[in-house]
Every structure is written in C-alpha cells, then in structure tokens.
C-alpha cells in the first residue's frame, strides 16, 4: 500500500501558489509518518514549495487542515477524489468543523492521530474506511518518533520542531487550542523528549507546545533535562512565566533564546472579556506602564521575545491600537505580530460574534473566494472592518520599517547581548519582514474566486495594494 501525506499551502499570489520562504518542517506530517505501520510506502508533498503529482499512483491521500488552509486543502482533496483516490482529512479544522470537512473526504479524523491512525491505514488497506474516526485531543505523542527523513530536500529552515506538551488550561475565548483541547494539558515523559532531541543532530529546536509553561513543574523538569544537551531553543509560553524566578532561570540555562508570548492587548478590560487570565494583572499593574514588570523580567534574562498582539477587541480604538504599536517599539521586542482577532470556528468568540450578527463573508471567511489573509472578518465595535484592516497593516509596516529594525537591534540587553542573539536577529528579522508583506492580502486556495467584497476593496485601496 502507498500513502501520500500532504501539507497544504495557504493560498495564492495572483495566479500561482505562494512559496513560503519561512517554511518549517510540518511536525504533524512527521508524526503521521512515524505512526504509519511498517510495510506501507510513504510519500510526502509540501504544497508550500512544490507541485503535487496528482497522477502518481497512490492508495490513500491524507491531508492536514487548519482553518486558513481549509480552502486549499479541499481543492487538493477534490483533485485526488476525482482520480478515484480515497482522502482522509485531519487536524484542528476538521475536528472543530467535521461536517464541512466530511463533504470533501472519504474519512475524517477528529482529534489526535495517535489512538486511531493505524486503524485508519488498516481500514484503507482493506477498502472499509469509516466516515469518522475519533482520537482524543490531548493524547501524548507516544513512544513513536516522528519521521524526519521525509523532509529532506524541501528547503526548510534549519530548525527542528519538537513537542513536549499539548494543550493549555486557559480559556481564551478566541483560541482554537482552548476549544480543541477543552482546556486540558498533557505532556510526554521527559526522557522521550531528550532522546528525540539527541537524535536530531541539530542545535536549534522550536518547541511547538501551545504553552511550554502550561504546568510550571513539568516545564522545569524538561528544562533541567535539556541543560546537558547544550542546545538553543525557542518556544511559546504564557506571560505568567515571568512570575516564577526559578522557571525563568532554568529556561535560560537550558538554552532558551526567546518565546512567542501573547501580549494581546494593553487593556485589562479587554483581557477580561477575552478571558486572557495570565495577562490581566500585568496589563493593569498601575505603575504607568502596562506589563512593566513582565517586560523587565524578560529583558533581565536577555530573552528575544516575539510579542503577539491581537487587534480588534470591543475596547479597541484606532488610537489605542496606535499606542499599542508605540508600546512594542518602546520595548524593542525582537519580533512582533499584529494579528487581527479572528473568529475561528468552534471558539466562544465565533459563537458570540455569530449571535450578534457581526460576522462578515457569511461567517465562513476561510472559504470565501474574496477573503484575503490579514483582513478583518467581523465588524469591530469601535471602528469599521476597513479601519481595523488598515491599522493592522500600518502597524506591520511601521514595525518592519528600517528605522524600527535598527532601533530594535541596538538593544544591548537582548538583541546585541551575544553573538548568537545577533545572528538570530539578522537571520530571521529580514526573512519574517519579507514574508509579512508577501502574505498580506493573499487569497486562500488556488482557484480564482468571485469579485472582492466592498469591504475588501476599500481595505485594499486604503493599503495602496492593487
């Protein structure tokens, strides 16, 4: 039997698919390949950088689907099915919206693959695929090691993705992770992670845990075990890490260069409404500067923070969002993302905006031919959707300007602290800058769609993008 694994692209620039220069090895594909029983031939195609050979014979196509790749994933699924190849779809999007995914597949897998994948392959082998398989979201990765040989030659960034824990116990209303894992958190035995990292042969690791500090004791156990490996790593974690000195010290000692941290907004009222518990205290600390203590701790430890902001809460105004950009510049974070709040399916935010009649694009923005990446998909409370799209783009443009880059680099506490940190800055800041502009306003999927909506036209004009 031959199995073909596919990682779909987001969408297209004009008429051809966008090539993601910042692409990394897709860990979920490596996990699926690792779980596949021996004796099954495995092929892998990454739609972000290569054409999919639809006519090459195969017995089963398995596609991983996120909300922003759903339109493209369905196009690919339809191509395989038109050639008589059965298709199985899995990932966060099919789990949270099974009926939609099922209409493009012979089988869908809801939840994690670990408990069900060998059954799916066996059923496909015997021509008896079931329409739905249910794995438990939050199954630890297990003893099988992701297969990374299938990634060779695809031009990925020289960083290996590894996962220790899955999920997060917080309940942020906009977060797919909270909806998918139902606020649970599970992690693997530390020895398994150490063994996996040792076998990588690479010194730079990205821990893709949704929240690497979801459980402080578990995180400390991992960091202690990483110290002797002398790797450098980056990860993602919530703000409460800064309140635990032992955790911070171990993090740095184990080789951490920095983390993606959701700052989201500077407004404690908005944080409360979004249920972003770890941030509320820091934003409202009352010393004149939101997150003053937290940022100081991150800087003391020399961490190169990727500050993620969410734009579009009900408290946000255009002026407030401009002040948020000034906050990011003032603190000279290494990276920052200015993400528009997105109504992802299955989240409380989606249900709230749907109930209030505020969703644009008929609700399913991810399938709308005229929707463009980084555009608002709902009506904000205190500005128009066009204004939100525009202010988010302006924030990205100013953040990525030359003056901002040089100013951020000149920070002796973080970006100029060591040679390794300087290298990281110059290797990745220009790359992510290019990718930010390339992806801005991209359409989902490859097939050309209908005329852009009034909102989209207005936003594009405001941005000066054709």
> With binding defined as CB under 6 A, does residue 188 bind ligand B12?
no
Burial 82-115 (b: 16+ CB within 10 A, else e): eeebbbbbbbbbbbbbbebbbebbbbbbbbbbbb
Residue 170 touches which of ligand SF4, ligand B12, none (Cβ within 5-8 Å per kind): ligand SF4
Does residue 168 touch ligand SF4 according to CB under 6 A? yes
Q: Which does 178 bind (CB under 5 to 8 A by kind): ligand B12, ligand SF4, none?
A: ligand SF4
- What's the closest the beta carbon of residue 238 comes to ligand SF4, in angstroms? 5
Question: Under rule CB under 6 A, how many of the chain's residues touch ligand B12?
Answer: 35
Site for ligand B12 contains 395 (CB under 6 A): no
Q: Compute the distance between CA of residue 95 and CA of residue 89 in angstroms, rounded to an integer.
A: 9
Question: Radius of gyration over alpha carbons of the chain, in Å?
Answer: 22
Contact between 436 and 442 under an 8 Å Cβ cutoff? The reply is no
Q: Which stretch binds ligand SF4 (CB under 6 A): 89-97, 173-181, 385-393, 431-439?
A: 173-181
Q: Restricting to residues 199-228, name those near ligand SF4 by CB under 6 A.
A: 210-211
CB 447 within 8 A of CB 75: yes
Q: How many CB atoms neighbour CB 441 within 10 A?
A: 20
By beta-carbon proximity to ligand B12, the closer residue of 159 and 280 is 159
User: Residue with CB nearest ligand B12?
Assistant: 90
196 binds, among ligand SF4, ligand B12, none (CB under 5 to 8 A by kind): none
**Residue 303, SS3?**
coil
Retrieve residue 261's tokens. 């941290």
CB of 214 to ligand SF4, least distance (A): 7
Angle at 172 between CA 242 and CA 438, to 5 degrees: 85
Q: By CB under 6 A, is residue 177 in contact with ligand SF4?
A: yes
Question: Contact with ligand SF4 (CB under 6 A): which of 67, 95, 163, 178?
Answer: 178
Q: Which does 238 bind (CB under 5 to 8 A by kind): ligand SF4, ligand B12, none?
A: ligand SF4
Residue 88 φ/ψ, nearest 5 degrees? -120, 130
26 versus 452: smaller Cβ distance to ligand B12: 26
* Residue 68 contacts ligand B12 per CB under 6 A: yes
Query: Should residue 121 be labelled a site residue for ligand B12 when binding is judged by CB under 6 A?
Result: no
For position 210 contacting ligand B12 by CB under 6 A, the verdict is yes
- Between residues 339 and 384, which has the closer beta carbon with respect to ligand B12? 339
Does the protein bind ligand B12 through residue 161 (CB under 6 A)? yes
Please report the beta strands in 122-176, taking only residues with DSSP state E, as ranges in sequence order. Answer: 132-134, 160-162, 165-167
Contacted entry of ligand B12, ligand SF4, none for residue 93, CB cut-off 5 to 8 Å set by kind: ligand B12
Under the binding rule (CB under 6 A), the answer on residue 25 touching ligand SF4 is: no
Find the binder of ligand B12 among 26, 34, 165, 452 (CB under 6 A). Answer: 26
Tokens of 106: 């012979």
In a 13 Å sphere around the CA of 8, the CA atoms on its Cβ side amount to 29
Q: Does 254 bind ligand SF4 (CB under 6 A)?
A: no
Per rule CB under 6 A, is residue 441 in the interface with ligand B12? no
How many alpha carbons lie under 13 Å from residue 416 in its C-beta half-sphere? Answer: 9
The answer to whether the CB of 41 falls within 8 A of the CB of 51 is no
Tally of CA atoms within 13 A in the half-sphere of 453 that contains its CB: 17
CA distances from 380 to 321, 368, 384, 438 (A): 13, 19, 6, 25
Nearest CA to 294 among 246, 238, 352? 238
306 binds, among ligand B12, ligand SF4, none (CB under 5 to 8 A by kind): none
Task: Determine how β-strand 185-187 pairs with β-strand 165-167.
Answer: antiparallel
- Residues numbered 249 to 288 that lie near ligand B12 (CB under 6 A) are none
Q: Which residues bind ligand SF4 (CB under 6 A)?
A: 168, 170, 172, 175, 177-178, 210-211, 238, 262
Q: Which residues bind ligand B12 (CB under 6 A)?
A: 10, 20, 23-28, 31-32, 62-64, 66-68, 88, 90-93, 109, 112-114, 117, 161, 163, 175-177, 208, 210, 339, 344
């Amino acid at each position: 039997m031959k199995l073909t694994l596919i990682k779909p692209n987001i969408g297209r620039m004009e008429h051809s698919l966008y090539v993601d220069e910042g692409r990394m090895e897709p860990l979920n594909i490596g996990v699926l390949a690792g779980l596949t029983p021996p004796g099954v031939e495995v092929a892998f195609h990454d739609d972000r950088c290569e054409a999919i050979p639809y006519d090459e014979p195969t017995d089963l196509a398995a596609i991983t689907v996120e909300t922003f790749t759903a339109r493209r994933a369905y196009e690919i699924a339809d191509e395989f099915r038109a050639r008589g190849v059965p298709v199985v779809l899995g990932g966060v999007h099919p789990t949270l919206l099974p009926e939609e995914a099922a209409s493009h597949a012979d089988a869908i897998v809801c939840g994690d693959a670990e408990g069900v994948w060998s059954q799916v392959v066996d059923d496909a082998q015997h021509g008896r695929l079931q329409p739905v398989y249910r794995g438990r979201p939050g199954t630890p990765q297990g003893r099988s090691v992701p297969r990374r040989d299938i990634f060779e030659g695809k031009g990925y960034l020289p960083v290996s993705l590894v996962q220790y824990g899955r999920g997060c116990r917080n309940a942020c209303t906009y977060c797919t992770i909270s909806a998918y894992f139902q606020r649970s958190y599970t992690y693997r035995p530390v020895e398994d992670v150490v063994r996996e990292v040792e076998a990588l042969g690479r010194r730079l690791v990205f821990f893709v845990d949704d929240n690497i500090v979801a459980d402080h004791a578990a995180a400390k156990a991992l960091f202690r075990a990483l110290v002797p490996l002398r790797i450098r790593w980056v990860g993602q974690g919530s703000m409460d890490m800064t309140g635990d000195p032992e955790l911070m010290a171990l993090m740095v000692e184990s080789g951490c260069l920095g983390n993606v941290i959701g700052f989201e907004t500077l407004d404690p009222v908005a944080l409360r409404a979004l249920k972003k518990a770890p941030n509320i205290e820091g934003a409202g600390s009352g010393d004149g500067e939101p997150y003053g203590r937290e940022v100081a701790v991150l800087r003391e430890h020399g961490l190169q923070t990727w500050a993620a902001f969410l734009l579009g809460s009900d408290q946000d105004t255009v002026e407030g969002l401009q002040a948020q950009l000034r906050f990011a510049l003032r603190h000279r974070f290494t990276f920052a993302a200015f993400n528009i709040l997105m109504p992802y399916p299955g989240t409380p935010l989606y249900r709230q905006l749907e109930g209030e009649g505020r969703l644009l694009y008929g609700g399913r923005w991810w399938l709308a031919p005229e929707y463009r990446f980084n555009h608002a998909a709902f009506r904000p409370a205190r500005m128009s959707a066009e204004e939100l799209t525009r202010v988010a783009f302006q924030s990205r443009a100013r953040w990525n300007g030359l003056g901002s880059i040089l100013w951020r680099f000149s920070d002796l506490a973080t970006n100029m602290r060591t040679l390794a940190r300087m290298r990281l800055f110059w290797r990745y800041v220009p790359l992510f800058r290019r990718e930010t502009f390339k992806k801005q306003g991209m359409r989902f999927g490859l097939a050309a769609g209908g005329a852009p909506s009034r909102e989209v036209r207005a936003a594009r004009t405001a941005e000066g993008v054709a």
